[in-house]
Amino acid sequence: MTGLLRSWRDHLTSEPVRVAAALRLPLIALIGVLVWIWDVDHWLPGLYAAVLGGYAVAAVGWLVAVLRGPVPRWAAGASTGVDLLVIVALCLVSGGATAALLPVFFLLPISVAFADRPALTAVIGTITALGYLAVWIFYSKRDDTVGLPDMVYTNFGFLVWLAVATTALSFVLAWRAARVQALQEMRRALVSEALHADERHSRDVAEHLHDGPLQTLLAARMQIDEARERHPDPALDAVYAALQDTATGLRSTVTALHPQVLAQLGLTAGVRELLRQFQSRSQADIIADLDEVGKPQSQALLYRAARELLTNVAKHAAASTVWVALARRGDRVVLTVRDDGRGFDPDTVGDSLAAGHIGLGSLLARFDAMGGSMRVRSDPVTGTEVTVTSPPEPRESD
């Protein structure tokens, strides 16, 4: 649960920062265009060009950094603070071009409003309004012919209103994000409970079959065997063979409903047993790379995925080689099943689920609801690769 919440918070923090980083570059270009077409003498043109050029280089580097790696939680406030400082600096060194740069102040609060952080939005909006007023005061003091027009106070009022409006917008977005998160958690809890109920039901049915019908069959087989020894008869041999086949099939059903190896030895041993069963009914070569992952909380779901994927390979792929990998990566367990057989269109997975067919579509829905993922890549030439990632798992498994 904690891992899922952390992942959700990281997502909410990262995406607005990446969007703002992408929007920053055209804003810098607009600043350059504004000053270029504004026919005035720059006060400090060399310094202005150095500040704007450094800002552009830093913005490109920042965009690459946030797109390629994780985004720290302080990134949203820090990057917007740098934006504000640079805009103020450009206004101070631009001379008469200050008037062309002042509209940029109206864009700064908007750049943080969708970060879903009302307090930060309020702080940035307030500082932006005060920065705008400070720049105009500085500009008017430097040039006595300009003064402080009444429009400055009007624009200052608009900036204050914009700070309030964007803060309210950010508050609404944060409230909606919290509601979505709560619904996601409720959905995850319901699916988890449904899966656990399904597991309990399967275990109960398996125990009933093992302790009831299977024991009755074994007892009947023993009696038939004793009768065959006393009175050899082809009819008894046929009955004995039928009982033997039925008992074998019933054992397979009990194992499928509640695999003891999974409960006793863990997921790695369970997947290894699935591969043994797969090898007994398929001519494909198996290349396995199975790390010991213990007994993760989602092992039943991962085991079901491995069984379903191997069954699909055996039925549909006509593969000559199957690669299976199992490993723990951070707080998640990753299962990969790849084959060199006939591929299929991955877009049909969702359609099959909508049409009422279980299989890959059902697995996709389950992993999505539990906070995990399932990625399917398939090609008629290279075959199919399915990568299943568990929901966040505790570092230490029981």
Q: Which run of H or E residues covers position 98? A: helix 98-101
- Residue 157 confidence (pLDDT) above 70: yes
Which residue matches tokens 């690769």? 385
Q: Which residue has the higher pLDDT, 337 or 132?
A: 337
Q: Determine the residue type at 282.
A: S
What's residue 4's pLDDT? Answer: 39
What's residue 134's pLDDT? Answer: 82
Q: Is the whole-model pTM more than 0.85?
A: no
What's residue 145's pLDDT? Answer: 62
The whole-angstrom separation of Cα 136 and Cα 113 is: 25
What average pLDDT does range 278-288 have in this prediction?
87
Q: Are 344 and 335 within 8 A, CB to CB?
A: no
| Segment 59-79, tens digit of pLDDT | 999 888 888 877 776 776 777
CATH class of 260-389: alpha beta
What average pLDDT does range 176-184 have in this prediction?
81
**CA dist 42 to 46, 48, 94, 99, Å?**
9, 8, 5, 12
What's residue 11's pLDDT? Answer: 44
The whole-angstrom separation of Cα 307 and Cα 5 is: 29
What average pLDDT does range 175-199 have in this prediction?
76
Q: Which residue has the higher pLDDT, 207 or 171?
A: 171
The whole-angstrom separation of Cα 195 and Cα 344 is: 28
| Segment 219-236, tens digit of pLDDT | 888 888 888 888 888 888
**CA dist 215 to 219, 225, 240, 248, Å?**
6, 15, 15, 12
Instruction: Show the tokens assigned to 377.
Output: 């890549």
CA 329 to chain CA centroid, nearest Å: 14
Beta bridge partners of 339: 322, 384
What average pLDDT does range 321-339 have in this prediction?
92
Q: Where in the chain is the domain with CATH 3.30.565.10?
A: 260-389
CB proximity list for 388: less than 8 A, separation 6 or greater: 302, 305, 309, 334, 335, 336, 337, 363, 367, 372, 373, 374
- Residue 133 confidence (pLDDT) above 80: yes
> What is the band of 349 on the pLDDT scale with cuts at 50, 70, 90?
low
Instruction: Give the percent of the chain with pLDDT over 90.
Output: 8
3-state DSSP assignment of residue 31: helix
State phi, psi for 69 to the nearest 5 degrees.
-135, 180
- Residue 365 confidence (pLDDT) above 60: yes
Q: Determine the residue type at 277.
A: Q
What average pLDDT does range 306-317 have in this prediction?
87
Q: Are 51 and 89 within 8 A, CB to CB?
A: yes
**Please, what's the b/e burial string for 129-147 (b: 16 or more CB within 10 A of its CB; e: otherwise)?**
bebbbebbeebeeeeeeee
What average pLDDT does range 262-278 have in this prediction?
83
- Residue 289 confidence (pLDDT) above 80: yes
3-state DSSP assignment of residue 343: coil
Instruction: Show the tokens assigned to 380.
Output: 């008629």
